[in-house]
Amino acid sequence: MSAASHLIRQLKDDRIRVTLTLLGVVWATVSITVLTALGQSVHRALLKGEKGLGDGLVRVAGGVTSRPYGGFPRDRWIGFPLRDGRLIRDGIPEAELACAEFGPTIREIAWDKRTMTENIVGVEPAFGDLRSCFPQDGGRFINDLDMRQNRRVAFLGNAIKEKLFGRMPAVGQTIRIMNTPFTVVGVMRPKLQLSSYYTVDKDLVFIPASTFEKLFGWQHVSGILYRPKDPASAQRTKATIKTFLAAHHGYDPNDPRVWNIFDTRQIAEMIDDIGIGMRVFMFVIGALTLIVAGVGVANIMFVLVQDSTPQIGIKMAVGAKPLHILRQYLLEGLALVLAGGALGLLFSSFVLFLLRQIPIEEEGLAYLGRPELSLATVLIVSSVLTLIALAAGFFPARRAASVDPVEALRYE
Amino acid sequence: MSRVDSNNERLMILSDVTKVYPMGDTQVEALRGVNLQIKSREFIAVLGPSGSGKSTIMHILGCLDTPTSGTYHLDGAAIQGLNPNELAEIRNRKIGFVFQSFHLLPRATACENVELPMVFAGINATDRKACAERVLDQVGLKERTRHLPNELSGGERQRVAIARALVNRPSILLADEPTGNLDSRSGAEILALFEELHTEGRTVILVTHDEMIASRAQRVIRILDGRIGQGSSDNHGRKE
Ligand SMILES: Nc1ncnc2c1ncn2[C@@H]1O[C@H](COP(=O)(O)OP(=O)(O)OP(=O)(O)O)[C@@H](O)[C@H]1O
Ligand SMILES: [Mg+2]
């Protein structure tokens, strides 16, 4: 008789206990699988959200010198004027989409009878691509002509548009910023952005940097943004820009305080660490559940061995070796756990399917991402299940193999 | 002693065999120094009252149990000191057991029960099935191969057990009160079957407390209180 058919017959008698044990394994498998998959998708969502700020974005801002240089004392304010954006754009091709950024400055804006106080930023056209601020249909981002002509045009973050216009179309309308009329040329397409250095882009009003400079009279930009063309040589690009700006403005290129830098790649690395930590944590919780289920399996296997002691005696009397008996119960334990595991994986994919149906446009749920049952997860879960099954089956099987046949035959 | 004359070969030799079971603080001496020699192809009855040690002797002869002291030689080989795997191998190849309460696997069919010793001999499923059906036919159960034990009469169950004992062609059959749970008619049939198996050339050792049954054997070994008692007889003359 094969181990499987034997097991099935044996289990028929113990239906309730077996069902409960099986449910334990199914539940444990579901929890370890779903938790691992969620860990993975949250990690992915965080990375994607980070990219919402700009993929591989670096932001350079000025600061106060901490060392004397070239005859100047320390504590000198170093700021970068608007033209530095173009200088870098033209002079350092390995820094892609380099552009300067003014702001934010909080000002009153109005449309129709509605008045609000919002963050205004002045940007160059490259900003749109760099930060993935893409216009919704029927609109556009700030362009070169806007810059050259200091046009009074505005590109609205989608949340601002919502607050100001509600469902009404915004493009073509005239809003007032500090009572100066601006024409709305575009509205941002919604994007997942989970990090920012002041306000997320959907809450910003974008105007041309040249217009901003004129209107508010700022001499220095708040930062210069770029993306290294080749991520592998990102450090070298950073150094090139550092030397370039230092030479241009006359300060020590190695002065740590002037060089005020923000690099999303470093944040991405941090997110990776968090993601791995989270996955390990969730896996451990799932594995613990699985171990508890394994104890349940071991328990029912002990009962099974106990109940079938006379049969073990019979088998030994006709020539079963201890190894035959050991193998039989190990296989039975394995069959029980793997059956539960298979059901569990099936049910997990259903649970994950349901999770994917949750609309994640909501702010809080965005972190959830779209959890999926990956091959890696299936492999990890299956091997953990097999290990647990062998461990859970071993001790009952060893007890079965050490049964004294004479005792067992007297058992009834 | 010559191996050529197999009829006179001493197949099983027990020398000063004792068996002691620990029972809490005390000990139960089930066998107290048994000396016994059994030749190949003998038909032996082991007779004695309840608790005298008959089953214990049979378990030792069948390598299901080992003596506490003394020696046991089977087929010229010392049995004491063998490990469980070696003992299992001997039981599988050389011994067939039949028990009073049949000891069939309750959830396996007659055929599957008979196949069991072949499973542990490593015979493939097709050969096992063919062989089991043939032996079941021999014991007159051709029509019952797919029945479960609880769908069979006592006599039929014992025939299944005998078929199982025969299927690996062992030379020795050990039966512990095989008719104890049967009515007199089935009992007589089973007994006739053992006589037939003996005539075919097997060594048959039959444990019983029934004088009538014992008288059918060639030799009667009387056990009393763990010792071989007075009046153990030799019926060889009577039979032939
Ligand atoms: N595992 C054991 N532990 C303690 N005592 C035992 C054990 N097995 C057998 N005995 C004792 O050993 C003695 C011999 O037992 P055995 O089963 O050989 O008797 P028996 O002659 O077969 O009796 P019956 O005719 O009732 O089957 C008995 O007194 C029994 O109680
Ligand atoms: Mg007995």
Q: Is the pLDDT of residue A207 over 60?
A: yes
Q: What is the mean pLDDT of residues A312-327?
A: 94
B89 Cα: distance to centroid of ligand 2 (angstroms): 24
Longest dimension (CA), chain B: 53
Task: Quote the CA–CA distance of B57 and A406 in Å, as a whole number.
Answer: 12
Q: How many CB pairs under 8 A join A and B?
A: 64
Q: Which amino acid is at A401?
A: A
Q: What is the C-alpha to C-alpha distance for residues A112 and A110, in angstroms, rounded to an integer?
A: 7
Nearest-Cα distance to chain B for A339, in Å, is 22
Which pLDDT tens digit goes with each residue over A58-81?
888 888 888 888 888 888 888 888
Range of the domain at A78: 63-258
Examine residue B4 and state whether it is found in any structural domain, yes or no: no
Residue carrying structure tokens 């328990």: A299
B88 has a chain A CB within 8 A of its CB: yes
Average pLDDT over residues B199-209: 95
- Domain end (from A258, A282, A305): A258
What are residue B98's phi and psi, to 5 degrees?
-130, 130
Which H or E run includes A55? Answer: none
Q: What angle do CA A366, A370, A375 make, to 5 degrees?
A: 150
Q: Compute CA distances B93 → A162, A324, B11, B171, whole Å.
A: 89, 16, 15, 9
A285 at the B interface (CB within 8 A)?
Answer: no
CA distance A402 to A325: 9
Nearest CA in chain B to A315: B116
The total of structural domains in chain A comes to 2
As a dihedral over the C-alpha atoms of residue A37, residue A42, residue A43, residue A46, rounded to 10 degrees, the angle is 160
Last residue of a domain, one of A258, A284, A306: A258
Longest Cα–Cα distance of chain A, Å, equals 105
| Number of neighbours of residue B208 by Cβ within 10 angstroms | 24
A69 and A12 share a domain?
Answer: no
Domain hosting residue B217, numbered range: 10-232
Residue A266 or residue A336, greater confidence: A336
Q: Which two tokens stand for residue B135?
A: 């032996």
Mutate to test the pocket of ligand 1, among B19, B20, B21 (most ligand atoms within 8 A of CB): B21
Is B119 in contact with A321 (Cβ distance < 8 A)?
no
- Does B105 sit within 8 Å of A314, measured CB to CB? yes
Residues of chain A in contact with residue B180, where contact means CB-CB under 8 angstroms, are none
Query: Is the residue at B184 inside a domain?
Result: yes
| Over residues A390-403, mean pLDDT | 92
Best mutation target, B20, B120, B167, to test chain A (most A CBs within 10 A): B120
Tens digit of pLDDT for each residue in B56-79?
A: 999 999 999 999 999 999 998 999
Same domain, A91 and A198: yes
Over residues B144-162, the mean pLDDT reads: 95
Residue bearing tokens 């929890």: A31
- Does B85 fall in a domain? yes
Q: Is residue A58 one of the residues assigned to a domain?
A: no
Does one domain contain both A383 and A235? Answer: no
How much of chain A exceeds pLDDT 70, in percent? Answer: 92
Give nearest CA residue, ligand 1 atom 4: B21
* Cis upstream peptide for A125 (omega within 30°): no
A18–chain B nearest CA distance, Å: 18
Residue B70 inside a domain? The answer is: yes
In which band, very low, low, confident or very high, does the pLDDT at A366 lie, cut at 50, 70 and 90? low
Residue B7 pLDDT exceeds 70: no
Indicate the pLDDT class of residue A310, thresholds 50, 70 and 90.
Answer: very high
Asked if pLDDT for residue B224 goes beyond 70, the answer is yes
Give DSSP secondary structure letters for A339-404: HHHHHHHHHHHHHHHHHHHS---STGGGGG------HHHHHHHHHHHHHHHHHHHHHHHHHHHT--
Q: How many CA atoms lie within 13 A of B14 on its CB side?
A: 25
User: Measured between CA atoms, how close is B192 to chain A, in angstroms?
Assistant: 23
| Residue A378 confidence (pLDDT) | 87
A209 and A335 fall within a common domain: no
Residues 6+ apart with CB under 8 A from A364: none
Are residue A273 and residue A248 in the same domain, yes or no? no
Q: Same structural domain for residues A28 and A78?
A: no
CATH code of the domain in which B162 resides = 3.40.50.300
**Over residues A5-19, mean pLDDT:** 70
Nearest CA in chain B to A319: B92
* Secondary structure of residue B78 in the 3-state scheme: strand
| Residues belonging to chain A | 412
Domain assignment present for B156: yes
Closest CB to B97 among A1, A10, A317: A317
Does the residue A164 lie in any domain?
A: yes
User: Does any domain span residue A57?
Assistant: no
> Is residue B5 in some structural domain?
no
Burial class (CB in 10 A: 0-12, 13-18, 19+), A173: middle
Q: Which residue has a Cα nearest atom 11 of ligand 1?
A: B30
Residues A304 and A285 in one domain: yes
- Count H helices, E strands: chain B? 8, 11
Work out how many domains chain B is built from and give that number: 1
Residues A100 and A170 in one domain: yes
Q: Are residues A138 and A212 in the same domain?
A: yes
Residue A171 neighbours by CB distance under 10 Å? 19
Q: Nearest CA to CA, how far is B238 from chain A (Å)?
A: 34
Q: Which helix (H) or strand (E) holds A406?
A: helix A405-410
pLDDT of residue B4: 41
ipTM attached to this prediction: 0.92
CA angle at residue B114 from B169 to A313, to 5 degrees?
Answer: 95
pLDDT band for position A2 (cuts 50, 70, 90)? low
Domain stops at, among A237, A258, A279 = A258
The answer to whether the beta carbons of residues B13 and B36 sit under 8 Å apart is yes
Distance of CA B51 from the midpoint of ligand 2 (Å): 7
My answer on whether A328 and A401 are in the same domain is: yes
Pocket lined around ligand 1, Cβ cut-off 6 Å = B 21, 23, 28, 30, 48, 50-56, 209
pLDDT score of A320:
94
Structure confidence by residue, pLDDT tens digits, A132-166: 889 999 999 999 999 999 999 999 999 999 999 99
Q: Is the pLDDT confidence value at B3 over 60? A: no
Alpha-carbon span A178 to A396, nearest angstrom: 81
Q: In angstroms, rounded to a whole number, what is the distance separating the alpha carbons of residues A389 and A332?
A: 9
| Percentage of residues in chain A having pLDDT higher than 90 | 33
> Is residue B96 assigned to a domain?
yes
Find the ligand nearest to B26 CA.
1
